[in-house]
Amino acid sequence: MKITATAIPDVLLFEPTVHGDSRGYFMETFRKTHFTDRGITLDFVQDNQSLSSQGTLRGLHYQLKHPQGKLVRVGSGSLFDVAVDMRRSSPTFGRWVGVELSAENKRQLWVPPGFAHGFYVTSQSAELIYKCTDYYDASDDQSLLWNDETIGIDWPLVGSSPLLSAKDEAGKRFEDAPTYE
């Protein structure tokens, strides 16, 4: 497994070794020592999967009392995956990083606790599969406005505007959003 730090060093890109032949392929998608060797001692407690159509933007979501680290990958299709640092004490506070994840490139993104997370579907549809280090708590759910000018995410939009949920349309501007200390 090739593991690379992104422009925000705490956000890691995992690129698995794929063993393939005419019958198909095999790859390891998770190994705990890849995390513990880097000082990340969190345990995953929940797996989630979502299916979204092209043009759907989900996020940017985070939880304050129960921050979730997420190991994100795509089972089918492709999307642009984004992490925004919401940790006030971090040298990368307010910065974002985005990568293309697809069933074809088989990459995974580690989004640590303390980051807002979102994605935009670039293919006809995409299945997102991710492991979480804490449980989802609806009462603790936060939504950062996807197009906040302060953050300035360069979303690869197909068309003029994404498909959004009411919650994501009402996301908070970065300057008004609650953050981690």
Residues designated catalytic: 61, 130
Helices (H) and strands (E) in the chain, counts: 2, 13
- Is the previous residue joined to 145 through a cis bond, with omega within 30 degrees of 0? no
Helix (H) or strand (E) holding 166: helix 166-169
Q: Side-chain half-sphere of 82: how many Cα atoms within 13 Å?
A: 27
- Gap between the Cα atoms of 111 and 11, Å rounded: 5
Q: How many whole angstroms from its chain centre is CA 79?
A: 10
Tell me which amino acid residue 16 is: P
Angle of CA points 166, 171, 172, to nearest 5°:
155
Tell me which amino acid residue 142 is: Q
Task: Note whether 91 and 35 are within 8 A (CB).
Answer: no
Q: Side-chain half-sphere of 158: how many Cα atoms within 13 Å?
A: 15
